[in-house]
Structure 1
Amino acid sequence: MAQLRSVPSRSGRGRTLLAATGLVLVAAFAQAPSTALAAGGPVPAAPAADGPQLSYVVNAVPGAVETRAVARAVRAAGGSVVVAYERIGVTVAHSGAPGFAEAMRAVPGVQSAGATRTAPLRASGTTDIGRPQKVDLKQALGQARQVERARGGTAAGGEPLEPLQWDISAIRADRAAKVDDGSRRVTVAVIDTGVDDTHPDLKANFSARQSASCVGGRADTSPGAWRPWDPASDYHGTHVAGTIAAARNGVGVAGVAPGVKVAALKVSEPGTSMFYAESVVCAFVFAADHGVAVTNNSYYVDPWLFNCRGDAGQRAILDAVGRAARYAERRGVVNVAAAGNSAMDLAAPKLKDTSSPDDSTPVSRTVDPATCWDVPTQLPGTVTVAATGAKGLRSYYSNYGLGRIDVAAPGGDSTQVPDLPAKNGNVLSTMPGGEYAYLAGTSMATPHVAGVVALLRSAHPGASPQEIQWLLKLEADNPGCPASDATCTGTRHVNSHYGYGLVDALDAVRR
């Protein structure tokens, strides 16, 4: 399951754990920048093979000639092309033919190929460690007013439930909004389970033209395609979107960057919370080609918690998603991702993975972090985010590691309870259907950082992704390692728990 890094999840991405899923058959080819792979139109599929249909990524030298050659080879090997991203050399194919991946690896110009899953389509439920704690709006408003009275009245410009958002004040986003709440020219794309754009706190800031469903690897831009499959279980993306850009409109909560736009790129399979490589590739490419400035990635690419270069199939996933993420960066996109919820030291010499593959039968394996990466958070150029609680300490579930964490942000922690009437140490944000709920995880920390990056993008529209990252780290506030926590290593400036520090929205808009 794609660990949605929102709630401490089984695999540990600070996201919500979504459940196992498999293949969605897509009949048509993608539009630009994808191309049909034969001059006369789509390549016809080979006769049905004996095995179960799986989805594959085939990575070759970019270019039209090579892409057409891959299409011919796919058909000859018993497969069909779903979509091809010519500019990055990634082709998505379906096949039930035994030995399909091996046959594709033998094709001249193909650099890697492998299945994106270990089982065909199947449905399953979510497996969040921390379930959403929905709020009774009347009760929550009463608690918020209680806080206001204790503080001597409502702050100017404050939202009704903002007094319960300890996380917003922790990174000084409330003060930043009084200086600059972000530019309407900046859009953050939430690559996730979809977003309910009808929510009263989101609809004013939602960008439909930059939204799509990428499930299966091909972008569907039909109206509403980006919305959750099932609002009751696919709430993760809507919660993330609210933390980034819930409007300051006198309703509900406040986002970190309430003046920017938010878009939805849905990548979770229906009936599950699986995020497969072909869908994530589509999302990065779509974001890059539609003027998105920032992507929020609160998940890991299923079915492997770590993709290892020594395995031909996992190498293909790493290659395909890496190409798409780099393409987005070249187009000026800053990719922000959750570090994970497994309480792992990502800098350890060896790591234990007992959850992969999460779409069939997991096995226990020991991986080398030098060659096995959590995707997309450990891809070069991606901002990796750890989670903190209301007392400013690393959240108990958050992954950490010297040289592995870039920055930290509030993700919530049930063991760090704020001095508020709700007595809830998790993060309050939007939910489908106009509701609100508390969640915790590195999934909740990541949108805080994406919001601060959006503020930096607003203030420095000409800056490169690398320059934005430098500013993000420069303006972060590092408290240093707690004396009582031996797992924290490093200095006051850079350490394993906070990276360069807790992000600071106020510094992002005033420097």
Structure 2
Amino acid sequence: MESHQGGQRFTFLYQNESRVERFLELGCQVEYVGSYTPMITATVSSWNQMKQIERDSELVHVESERSLQLLPYELKNVYTKRRLVKNRQKGEVVPWNIRRVLRGQSRSFTGKGIKVGIIDTGIDFNHPDLSQNVQGGVNIIEPGKPPHDLNGHGTHISGVIGAAVNQLGIIGVAPDVSLYAIKVLNKKGVGSLSDLVRGIEWGISNNMHILNISISGGKVSPVALEKAIQVATRRGIFVVAAAGNAGQLSGKGDTVEVPARVPNAIAVAALSKSNKRASFSATGSTVDVAAPGVKVVSTYPGMKYAALSGTSMAAAHVSGVLALFKQKHPKASHASILKRLFASTKVLSSSGRNTLTGRGLVQF
């Protein structure tokens, strides 16, 4: 590492207790101190500083900052409400993908009382199909500013999970769920590993039941991220992650990306309308389940709706279904609800669980 103005950001993990005072003594800029994992994210500007930090016997691991980005997705069409409902005089559209995961059940369970943190680009708080369900959030990348969505992806995910029943637009999987925007990606869909970890810790601190993540982080699993997801899971939080959109057309190979390939994350593959694996959907032994992910119509910034394709859309369905299970079984353990989720799947392969669609189509 060369000494240069601005320095380089690292995350330092400790055995028992982090030593923030040491960083301040050395003149390092401390960005974040872990709330649940003994870690510090700081900017180090010289080799001398790094050598001094590494002398601490409690230090067990050092990770350099890593850039993350949205999983690439396909945008098909953008609609106004009028174009969406077309000839209907009133009422809402229940898209094919929502019907697919609900098995035609009555709306006895709607996700009411369940908190879902959407770790993404933010949410359009003013969208008429979302405003009554968005309960708050945090802007990790620009602290103090509202976590508004300047990209569109986070708003789309939010609608799949929890677009309200309000005689407008569409209905989400869990239309009474409480949505929280945890903004870790900018308007270009770019963010950092340390901000993702901070977003997960915010979700833990604010008692989220479910965290939904649709981020591309490569194949190497960062220790700090593993620790954060492990803590969330131990506290009963479901971490749902899109498997990735870099799958081979043949369906061969291990192409699942971080954070979906991190232990304890629920990795979700994408299905087409015919319940076949989407051609882009990542494959591998870590794929847990699958859900609709092709031409999924949902909310979009500016009072609009859009049809998007990607495993991000698939993951949102799973988060919505988990909210329904959580409401139906409020006293059930994390393991018990996860078991119910997996047992609910519609098997899509004669061989059972496979590397393409996991256990199959999630349903409630």
* Alignment TM-score, normalising by the size of structure 2: 0.90
Q: Secondary structure at the match of 1:114?
A: strand
Counterpart selection for 1:306 from 189, 204, 219: 219
Q: What aligned pairs does 1:335-354 form with structure 2 within 5 A after superposition? A: 335-344=239-248, 348=253
Is the partner of 2:22 in helix, strand or coil? Answer: helix
Note if contact 1:475-1:504 (Cα within 8 Å) is conserved in structure 2: yes
Q: Deviations over 1:71-119 (max 9, x none)?
A: 404642x522122115311111113324765654443211111221379
Structure 2 residues not aligned, in runs of 5+:
none
- Distance change >3 Å, CA 127–CA 89, structure 1 → 2: closer
Letter in 1 for 2:155: T
| Corresponding residue number in structure 2 for 1:172 | 102
Deviation string 1:32-67 (CA, Å, 9 cap, x unpaired) is xxxxxxxxxxxxxxxxx524433221111233xxx2
Question: 1:115 aligns to what?
Answer: 64
Is 1:409 equivalent to 2:291 in the alignment? yes
| 1:242-281 mapped onto 2 (5 Å cutoff) | 242-268=159-185, 270-281=186-197
Q: Extract unaligned runs of 5+ from structure 1.
A: 1-48, 120-124, 146-153, 309-317, 352-372, 413-425, 482-490, 506-511
Q: Do the aligned partners of 1:51 and 1:97 also contact (CA within 8 Å) in 2?
A: no
Equivalences for 1:187-198 in 2 at 5 Å? Answer: 187-198=115-126
The whole-number CA distance in structure 1 between the counterparts of 2:49 and 2:190 is: 23
SS of alignment partner, residue 131 of structure 1: strand
2:361 pairs with 1:502: yes
- Superposed CA deviations along residues 104-163 of structure 1, whole A, max 9, x for unmatched, are 4443211111221379xxxxx9995523521143332226x4xxxxxxxx9xxx94232x
Tell me the residue number matched to 2:147. Answer: 226
Q: 1:335-372: CA deviations, max 9, x gaps?
A: 00000001159984x77xxxxxxxxxxxxxxxxxxxxx
Deviations 1:423-444 (A, max 9, x none): xxx0000011211111000011
Query: Among residues 428, 438, 452, which one is paired with 2:321 in the alignment?
Result: 452
Aligned residues: 362
User: What is the Cα deviation at residue 192 of structure 1?
Assistant: 0.3
Distance in 2 between residues matched to 1:118 and 1:449, nearest whole Å: 26
1: distance between equivalents of 2:166 and 2:264?
35
Q: Classify 1:142/1:449 alpha carbon distance in 2 versus 1 (closer, same or farther; 3 Å).
A: same
What is the distance in 1 between the residues matched to 2:170 and 2:98? 10
Distance (whole Å) between structure 1 residues aligned to residue 197 and residue 125 of structure 2 = 23
2:270 to 376, 384, 387: 387
Q: CA deviation at 1:236?
A: 0.5
Residues 72, 310 of structure 2: 8 Å contact kept: no
Whether 2:154 is the aligned partner of 1:205: answer no
Look up the equivalent residue of 1:72 and give its one-letter code: R
Report the equivalent of 1:96.
45
TM normalised by structure 1 equals: 0.66
Structure 1 or 2: more strand by fraction: 2
- 2:107 is matched by which residue type in structure 1? K
The answer for the alignment partner of 1:31 in structure 2 is none
- Deviation, structure 1 residue 177: 4.7
Aligned-residue RMSD, C-alpha:
2.8
The 3 A distance-change label for structure 1 pair 83 and 139 is closer
CA contact (8 A) 2:75 2:306 kept: no
Aligned match for 2:303, one of 425, 428, 434: 434
Larger radius of gyration: 1
Counterpart selection for 1:465 from 331, 334, 337? 334
Matched-pair identity in % = 28
